[in-house]
Structure 1
């Protein structure tokens, strides 16, 4: 813990030393954005895109939130210092600054979603000074405005998480020019999904009951959030009971105003919400038997929405995330899909662009469709193929070198929330940012750079993961493995101030690590329709887990009194509720297993009270009906854990656990780089405190069995063994998919010949299911020991994508050296 705190403190100091864009005291050449005397006028052109006006008005409101001074807005500077906001080609002011050379826009022309923020002397006749925010396109301009908002202290989550900015009497923008963009990933966004128990209930009963659920009020706030997070794409909510996005025409109009690119999920081709919009017999949603009816259904939507900026999902699955009806074999499905592609692209040519290859399209080989793609399904070359994860954060497929020339490129559809087998996780957001980083950077490095979409469930309480995913998509190189913890430090400093940022970051790091052992939604060790059974944790393991959660909860409670009053609502939403709720869920479950009825029932009652406060007391009732403990009801019972009750089985008769030596993979004594890759520690990933270890670069090629000893990257662990004979050894892996079929590495002792270990992924099978619930897969072997004493166990990285968490040896083994040089 001390090492973590020291590391985070150093990161915070480094962040603080970076030159800020905005500060409270003036320096030579700085631009006075706001002082006690007033705020600079914000100037933008009515001829610019609507999103620029939205951003400019939001900036005025943000400056007032921070300083109490409300800037005037207009289309003329009127001779005073001003903030000049505009898009090249559509703003006369931006074009004038570019033509005069006052602002260097050479790198902006033709760029995607890029912008500059620059202080300018005498920008226009009669205007002594200005701050120019110029975008290469309307979204770039808007991103520039919101970049300034964040720099003055306004969180992107000011509304969605009630993050109140600290008051400042004055705001000065540092002199000079700063350039941003283009983004790493062209299209970046989120998918609102499985919203039945949170966002839909809150919208229908609190925010906009007149619309019966998620509608224009909700989406307008969501569009603004996406822009503040430099995102540009939305797949809208689509579950039964939620109003379809296009049931309110103003939704698409608002998306256009905010320059948000609308798309739809893998199961909703051509912007159609099938569960809410297909009114015919469900069996008629069959292209094989009802081509004309289905095609007309798609055509109506493309005709209505073709004038807007969209990404069209092509292909076809069942109405609600099920397999396509009609064909009986994969070869028949593939042939029909190829015909469907042709028909859908003909609609795009008719209503959007007569050159359909210029219309953004995606094909998502999700679940059973991935097998069809792997077996030769022909997708038009200009269409973006979106890989998917296994719904638990581990990508099923990566782009091969032979595929990377594809004109449409590749993307990723990634889950931060999931309703499905083997058990859902739709309550608390517990995916470690480090896992997102490991999987998504590997996807990016191997070619998935066109579109990233994260399934964020109800959005709340997934604020941290949502922001991390989108920031990574904006600039995939802003964090490397070594400084990955910087994200949580900077996030905590922005939301709650720098004084406690290192401790808040450490709390959230421990929160993610403890819940990586077992998510709160997975606190049962049986699957639906199976009889209840005990967890695999012994009493000692359960006691350690409970103690860790209790200490984490106590740290939150101790820090709460030190958090500013204005930040108390945000503190509860972003830190106190997820940490305390997960701690109480564990206390309820494990105390119940041990037969401690009073303690278990007390934890259950406290969890109910905590959730009730979220819904009824927090922020004056703003979030009423947003938060539901899992399971909130009996819907989808085959996919969700059972409602907690005191277990009826008797307490376990404990047997002393067999002694074992557990070595965290990151605690190696030395390492040797391979011919094309080396090991790197990923802090924040895995079950231990030191992090997991993976091969870098992710795009490196596998090492053949004949060349492992010479060419593979190697980790050495020194141990002392008091016996000769066979040594049982386990390598615990993060359950990535490796090459999609196997996880492969090699182990040797004392420079002996490496033994190749191959673990089948078995995607979708019981061992995979257990792996994603445990967040680990275990491969076992035996090493032959011929002498008593000190030995070196070596682990070789043969395949990129294999991530090592722990090495476990028979308890007679001991370490003889601490982690040393690398």
Structure 2
């Protein structure tokens, strides 16, 4: 079809997009409802009136329904009231229902649902036996007294839960309505079109890890609920389920224990349908702090060392599995049991790779599981987390039984370290593979815990690769305090539900769609652009790594100061902050609490931090030469330091102090990898002369000129002039990835290596003004070789010259750097960029074409530069 297509084709595309928008993010009056079981604000044919003239339909559920279904049904009833303004009737007796009703139940467990199946009123064969699948279908005259119903059928209990909360989101109730105070728009009429739709997850276990939670999450929970207890977890569980997640690693920083701190925690997780786990270093459901808290009661004691204290450790772990099966009636609380062992306090277990010892530990743990559950060990879901040095055991040949899920990890900074290799037959194992990912981390080269600095484009690129390579059993992400990771967590769990639907095109559309769902369609594009712009700027340097020496200043003139690179970055932040202020002014008053949490505070706080360090940099530079302009910048440091505290206070005052304590994380003036004990203003110096009233002509450099500095030419990789596909592969720009407009990635991911002669390349035309040897450099978003080989390769050439193969070889290090690859990795994660380069001799001035060739998978190029080489090769 020619570009633009026919009028009919364009109409169909627009209609499909509109329905998808409705399907994912709620209703808008202007959009036609044509797909089966879609949500709209007007009646269409045989549609079901969920809310009509302000009156919600009744909700019917079996009296003996699973508690998880009961919790979700109650939540949905509250959602209907939020939308309509009137309470929905919640019924357990079908004889009392009349008119229209929403019927919710589980296939094979609900007499009402099974009766509808038996009578031929509904067909649920497409979801029968499927994990967490659901079907929503409009049915005429399903039961006596009910003229029309919307039936939500779950293939299992969580299928019913997800089918219910899916409808809540589609009628305009954000999963974040409580956890980020996202308001719900009132609607007098909401209809569901005739027909049915079904859905199911593609990743089996999907969830997050509350970690590094002191002082923020813990302090907040103590103020709001009296501790990290079942009252707090009730909110966490609901958020998880509304996001269609099913799996949680609970908060565990000492001295916390999910089981000991509040016995109601385990019961509530089961009642609501949440699958519990424990973190990568907490075997057999035991929180690490339990080892120290239970000393002397017969289940713990001595050193955390299997060589010298195996009997006590086995008794301790046995207690964890006994607790798991204590539900009664031969049933166990749902849990994915962590196996393996690390050292006490999340440290390496041994100085060397203790493969034989760890194999013995896992075998003994599985014996405990089998003995206590009374079933073969392979009937209890288990996971072995290949985190940090534990991956070395795997790389050295350690294996566990096939039913154990192998949980690969990233490097704690967003780069996945290892993935299964389909070419080696890795996908045959029954337990499958998963990924443990990080939005938050405590460790080297420095902690990052305060604020969201994660690009969803990077999350997409890494997790799309993971899914393509067969890691489909378990995805879990470390979210620290949950807030302020709302945006990337929302994306992560939406993608985990169906990675196949989260295409590159869906990724591009996500920011605006998320904004429309959260703040309405009027400013969706602008807010989505702000979110992408924020993450691009935040990705340049995590705030904990930022200081007055992070970027270069320009020249100090007598009458003017050149802001240099630092000034250009600060100017970008100022521009973003001004745009954010403009958006805020146009929001309704009831939207501003959510806005401040999700966008306003991150933008204001991080831009202010850049202003603080920028002023500190100028103060230091000017004071060193006794320049009185230093005093102006000393005042600016003091003002921005005070503003940081004021912004935190504003956050803690939201909604009557609902979030007090949540932004208590120390986030400035780091000198080592770990937290400072308190917020400390950067040092300033004053000189004797009076300070002038203004900046005396500080001129930031506005971005980078297209021709670059001098003979250097810099090209944003997203500005692809030509992308030549080959073999089903093509380069594609990913907007929210890297530090420019976007990075190019070869898609689809998960394919074997290719050679330059396949013609798969991206091309860029440049005109150089110099002759001689030329250096072409590629700035890459950091990635790792997930195959365990020697690095990720990419090709570069110019004109018709031979391709040079470049290798990005980064090696994460849990300890001190002692190899060039480890040193390069540290530099790469600090700068969130890594450079590779090639030199081409005897280049003439004039027009040339630079070509980028895909060799290996998992490569992302965000900038190309050409300049004179210092010397010919």
Q: TM-score, normalised by structure 2?
A: 0.86
Is 1:191 matched with 2:191? no
1:360-439 alignment runs, 5 A limit: 360-401=381-422, 402=424, 403-439=426-462
User: Counterpart in 2 of 1:555?
Assistant: 579
Q: Distance in 2 between matches of 1:505 and 1:284?
A: 52
Give the superposition deviation at 1:660.
2.4
Q: Distance in 2 between matches of 1:339 and 1:202?
A: 41
Counterpart selection for 1:607 from 636, 644, 653: 644
Q: TM-score, normalised by structure 1?
A: 0.91
Q: Distance in 2 between matches of 1:309 and 1:14?
A: 34
Is 1:324 matched with 2:349? yes
Q: Is the 8 A contact 2:402 2:429 kept in 1?
A: yes
Q: Distance in 2 between matches of 1:309 and 1:146?
A: 21
User: Which secondary structure does the structure 1 equivalent of 2:82 belong to?
Assistant: helix
Counterpart selection for 2:674 from 620, 639, 645: 639
User: Counterpart in 1 of 2:6?
Assistant: none
Give the superposition deviation at 1:638.
3.5
User: Counterpart in 2 of 1:757?
Assistant: 806
Give the superposition deviation at 1:812.
11
Q: CA distance change for structure 1 residues 174 and 423 in 2, over 3 Å: closer, same or farther? A: same
User: Which secondary structure does the structure 2 equivalent of 1:201 belong to?
Assistant: helix
Q: Is the 8 A contact 1:47 1:90 kept in 2?
A: no
Q: Distance in 1 between matches of 2:658 and 2:219?
A: 13
Counterpart selection for 2:340 from 304, 315, 329: 315
User: Counterpart in 2 of 1:15?
Assistant: 21
Give the superposition deviation at 1:218.
0.7
Counterpart selection for 2:781 from 721, 734, 749: 734
Counterpart selection for 2:63 from 29, 37, 46: 46
Q: Is the 8 A contact 1:116 1:179 kept in 2?
A: yes
Q: Distance in 2 between matches of 1:566 and 1:67?
A: 17
User: Which secondary structure does the structure 2 equivalent of 1:156 belong to?
Assistant: coil
Q: CA distance change for structure 1 residues 504 and 429 in 2, over 3 Å: closer, same or farther? A: same
Q: CA distance change for structure 1 residues 285 and 753 in 2, over 3 Å: closer, same or farther? A: same
User: Counterpart in 2 of 1:109?
Assistant: 128
Q: Is the 8 A contact 1:244 1:276 kept in 2?
A: no
Is 1:161 matched with 2:180? yes
User: Counterpart in 1 of 2:725?
Assistant: 673
Counterpart selection for 2:168 from 137, 149, 154: 149
Is 1:618 matched with 2:618? no
Q: Is the 8 A contact 1:675 1:711 kept in 2?
A: yes
Aligned Cα RMSD in Å? 2.6
User: Which secondary structure does the structure 2 equivalent of 1:411 belong to?
Assistant: strand
Counterpart selection for 1:683 from 725, 729, 735: 735
User: Counterpart in 2 of 1:544?
Assistant: 568
1:232-381 alignment runs, 5 A limit: 232-279=246-293, 280=295, 284-306=303-325, 307-325=332-350, 329-330=352-353, 333-381=354-402
Counterpart selection for 2:194 from 125, 150, 175: 175
Q: Is the 8 A contact 1:12 1:486 kept in 2?
A: no
Task: Summarize deviations over 1:62-93 as a string: whole Å, max 9, x none.
Answer: 11111111111121232332111100011011
Q: CA distance change for structure 1 residues 381 and 784 in 2, over 3 Å: closer, same or farther? A: same
Task: Summarize deviations over 1:306-334 as a string: whole Å, max 9, x none.
Answer: 21010001000012210115xx532xx11
User: Counterpart in 1 of 2:695?
Assistant: none
1:421-500 alignment runs, 5 A limit: 421-500=444-523
User: Counterpart in 2 of 1:819?
Assistant: none
Give the superposition deviation at 1:244.
3.8
User: Counterpart in 1 of 2:52?
Assistant: 35
Give the superposition deviation at 1:491.
1.1
User: Counterpart in 2 of 1:664?
Assistant: 716
Task: Select between 606-615 and 642-651 the one with higher mean Cα deviation.
Answer: 642-651
User: Counterpart in 2 of 1:709?
Assistant: 756
User: Counterpart in 1 of 2:593?
Assistant: 569
Q: Distance in 2 between matches of 1:659 and 1:278?
A: 63
Q: Is the 8 A contact 1:660 1:812 kept in 2?
A: no
Is 1:221 matched with 2:235? yes
Task: Select between 745-754 and 154-163 the one with higher mean Cα deviation.
Answer: 745-754
User: Counterpart in 2 of 1:63?
Assistant: 80
Q: Distance in 2 between matches of 1:283 and 1:734?
A: 46
Count residues in correspondence: 782
Q: Distance in 1 between matches of 2:43 and 2:735?
A: 38
Q: Distance in 1 between matches of 2:520 and 2:615?
A: 37
Give the superposition deviation at 1:13.
11
User: Counterpart in 1 of 2:860?
Assistant: 803
Q: Is the 8 A contact 1:738 1:799 kept in 2?
A: no
Counterpart selection for 1:700 from 729, 747, 751: 751
Q: CA distance change for structure 1 residues 18 and 465 in 2, over 3 Å: closer, same or farther? A: farther
Q: Distance in 2 between matches of 1:203 and 1:278?
A: 23
1:190-209 alignment runs, 5 A limit: 190-204=208-222, 206-209=223-226
Give the superposition deviation at 1:677.
2.9
User: Counterpart in 1 of 2:842?
Assistant: 785
Q: CA distance change for structure 1 residues 299 and 629 in 2, over 3 Å: closer, same or farther? A: closer
Q: Is the 8 A contact 2:54 2:189 kept in 1?
A: no
Counterpart selection for 1:583 from 579, 582, 607: 607
Q: Is the 8 A contact 2:772 2:868 kept in 1?
A: no
Counterpart selection for 1:627 from 663, 667, 672: 663
Q: Is the 8 A contact 2:552 2:564 kept in 1?
A: no
Q: Distance in 2 between matches of 1:812 and 1:545?
A: 27
Q: Distance in 2 between matches of 1:203 and 1:632?
A: 24
Q: Distance in 1 between matches of 2:32 and 2:430?
A: 39
Task: Select between 74-83 and 281-290 the one with higher mean Cα deviation.
Answer: 281-290
Q: Distance in 2 between matches of 1:277 and 1:612?
A: 38
Q: Which runs of 5+ in 2 are unaligned?
A: 1-13, 23-30, 326-331, 555-562, 620-632, 688-697, 702-707, 814-821
Q: Is the 8 A contact 1:118 1:131 kept in 2?
A: yes
Give the superposition deviation at 1:775.
0.8
Q: CA distance change for structure 1 residues 684 and 603 in 2, over 3 Å: closer, same or farther? A: same
Q: Distance in 1 between matches of 2:569 and 2:796?
A: 31
Q: Is the 8 A contact 1:133 1:141 kept in 2?
A: yes
Give the superposition deviation at 1:562.
1.4
Q: Distance in 2 between matches of 1:733 and 1:282?
A: 49
User: Which secondary structure does the structure 2 equivalent of 1:784 belong to?
Assistant: strand
